[in-house]
Amino acid sequence: MDSLDTQVLDAARQWAAAGHRFALITVARTWGSAPRPPGAWMILRDDGQVQGSVSGGCIEDDLIRRAAAGEFTGTAPRLLRYGVTADEAHRFGLPCGGTLELVLEPAPDAVLLEQLAQRIGTGQLVHRRVALASGAVTLEGGSAGDSQQWDGQTLVTLHGPAWRLLIIGAGQISRYLATMAQALGYRVYICDPRSEYADGWDVPGTERVAAMPDDAVTELGLDPRSAVVALTHDPKLDDLALLEALKSPAFYVGALGSRANNRQRRERLLQYFDLSQAEVDRLHGPVGLPIGSRTPPEIAISILAEMTAVKNGQNSPSTEAVADAYACRVA
């Protein structure tokens, strides 16, 4: 559940507490180019106020118009389609013939939304199941490997801290990376056995893992929604995390360092540890996209940009020069 959809849930609870009627709209399926991914949320209040988004704006305008015309009354959820024809796609600003299927709930259960928020707040992953035929909405336990399901009749969305980031090292870059990653919806864990760094860690919302880096990776049970970034710049610590993370199903594994350091790291991992060439090739190092980053916040941005590209299935360009300048100063 990304940060925008968390804001939607918070607004829905506030509106319900204030006695407002509102509709909940979820992106169920997309074809072609679409501005928002499946699972994205939007709520539309009885006075036309909107929180969240399902498109670039034109579809939101049409939903507001239809709501004002009294189309979204009752309580039964229904299916809405936009961009079915080329003319409609052009009208609503959907690029490349994009098509959206939306599930609209005219009167979502405020009690269930409150329960959903409470479960997310305790770190749980939750399935929200909406059955169009019966109108029933239920909450069920989920796991990090799950994904959204939609068969045209039942929509199952995953909510909670589905994406996880384990940061090795509690230095300056880690502080910026942890803060920015939380804004993108990651549940952030920090591991640093060096007390001189770990004892001063105070980034809100993050969780400390009191273990050596390799044990931390194992303890978290990484899955395809997990990422690991090693930032201590100490091979004795970073390599411990990498030798376990590269064997895991984590979607992203990266390490700070210059090109020379990362060449040496790859050689070590191949020569001294039980890693295959394919596993070592998964390493992103120097970590991050090559945006000329030099300062800790710039490096954090470059790391999150590359993580986002990989998470979204985009091939990231070469990262040869990302952190060279900073790495040389701390080497």
Note the pLDDT tens digit of each residue in 246-284.
999 899 999 998 899 999 999 999 988 889 999 999 999
Question: Hey, what are 82's tokens?
Answer: 């936009």
- Residue 314 DSSP one-character state: P
Residue recorded with tokens 């239920």:
138
**Does the pLDDT at position 323 exceed 50?**
no
Distance between CA 313 and CA 307 in Å, rounded? 10
Q: In CATH, which superfamily holds the domain spanning 163-330?
A: NAD(P)-binding Rossmann-like Domain (3.40.50.720)
Q: What pLDDT shows up at residue 320? A: 40
Q: Is the pLDDT of residue 321 over 50?
A: no
Identify the helix (H) or strand (E) that includes residue 300. helix 296-311
Q: What is the pLDDT of residue 116?
A: 95
Q: Which of 157-171, 201-215, 296-310 has the lowest mean pLDDT?
A: 157-171
Query: How do the domains of the chain map onto residue ranges?
Result: 3-159, 163-330
pLDDT at 324: 41
Nearest to 281 by CA among 230, 317, 247: 247
Tell me: pLDDT of 327 over 60: no
Burial 240-274 (b: 16+ CB within 10 A, else e): bbbbbbbbbebbbbbbbbbbebbeebbebbeeebe
The per-residue pLDDT of the chain, averaged, comes to 87
Q: Kindly tell me if the per-residue pLDDT of 1 is higher than 50.
A: yes
pLDDT of residue 24: 97
Report which of residues 161 and 117 the model is more confident about.
117
* pLDDT value at residue 319: 40
DSSP state of 319: -
Q: H helices within 39-169, ranges in order?
A: 58-68, 86-91, 110-121
Classified as helix, coil or strand, 19 is coil
pLDDT in the model for residue 195 = 93
Which of 304 and 37 is assigned the larger pLDDT?
A: 304
Structure confidence at residue 121 (pLDDT): 78
- Dump pLDDT digits (tens) for 127-153: 999 999 999 999 999 876 678 899 999
Read off the pLDDT of residues 61-111 as tens digits, 9 standing for 90 and up: 889 999 999 999 999 999 999 875 556 655 655 554 567 899 999 999 999
pTM: 0.64
Q: How far is CA 23 from CA 67, 160, 285, 329, in A?
A: 9, 21, 46, 54
